[in-house]
Amino acid sequence: MKLYNKDKLAEARESFLKSVPEWDKPVEWAAVMGSGLSDVFDDFKIIGSFPFENVARMPHSAVAGHRGEFMIAEYEGKRVLAQLGRSHLYEGWTPFEVAFSVALFGELGIKNLLLTNAAGGVLDTLEVGDVMVIYDQINLQSGSPLSGAPGSEKFQDMTEAYDKRLAVGLSKKFGLTQGVYAALRGPHYETPAEIRYLRTIGADAVGMSTVMEAIMGRFYGMRIAGMSLITNKASGLGGKKLDHSEVIEAGKIGRRKIAEGMKYLMGE
């Protein structure tokens, strides 16, 4: 499953619906939880959950902090389909495979998507534990999840990758900085010279995910909101070596902010 494939998505949709509990009530939002953020829904009412393995063709991650399951959660009578963990290009998956779950959400008719991630702060004012609202992105990962999509549909306009009204609303409601998220392939972290380059081209935070999912979400006409939890100062800015364990620890600090953002979005 290297390129966009409608048949594989149909197979995934069928197996998903066999696994999911109580799909009789509308689910207006889907949310992808990044590294260390699987506990965001702890104070939501949990309707049910099941592992990625239950869904045909669904890629899974072996990276720490990515639980690998779908969960249906409810807050004030409204439901969200949460994806706890994601796959990455650096694990050997293709752009389409990385964005496969978002395509599945589109096939299920979901029209709103929250993308979260753990990121390094490039902007000087972003500190560990801060949350940055993504208002645009820079794809430095090479490739597109839409390769192989039929006809002219694959030439997706990305002028407004992230919904401006949602970004402004999140920023004002919680006093959060809006910024540009840049994605590299990883799995290694960036060099100080690469961080200087990212600053030059307009990046405020950097990570290894999210952009392929956003492209796929726009392909399905979704409204997209993005939130980056700053888990470390980017290379050369924090005065210490980078380690994945600090990403997991920062997730414990920032998950409350992400949870409050999710609740706000579900009311929009």
The secondary element (H helix, E strand) that includes residue 265 is helix 244-266
* Angle, helix 100-107 to helix 211-219, in steps of 10 degrees: 20
Looking at the DSSP assignment, which residues form a beta bridge with residue 183? 139, 207
Helix extents (H) in 135-207: 164-174, 192-200
Rounded CA separation 44/79 (Å): 10
Read off the tokens for 106.
Answer: 């589109």
The strand ranges marked E within the chain are: 27-33, 45-51, 69-75, 78-84, 112-121, 131-139, 177-183, 205-207, 223-233
DSSP 8-state class, residue 190: P
d(CA 52, CA 67): 9
Sequence-distant (≥ 6) Cβ neighbours of residue 196 within 8 angstroms: 236
Strands 223-233 and 131-139: antiparallel
Cα separation, 264 vs 261, in Å, equals 5
Catalytic positions are 35, 66, 88, 90-91, 118, 208-209, 232, 244
Cβ proximity of 75 and 29 under 8 Å: no
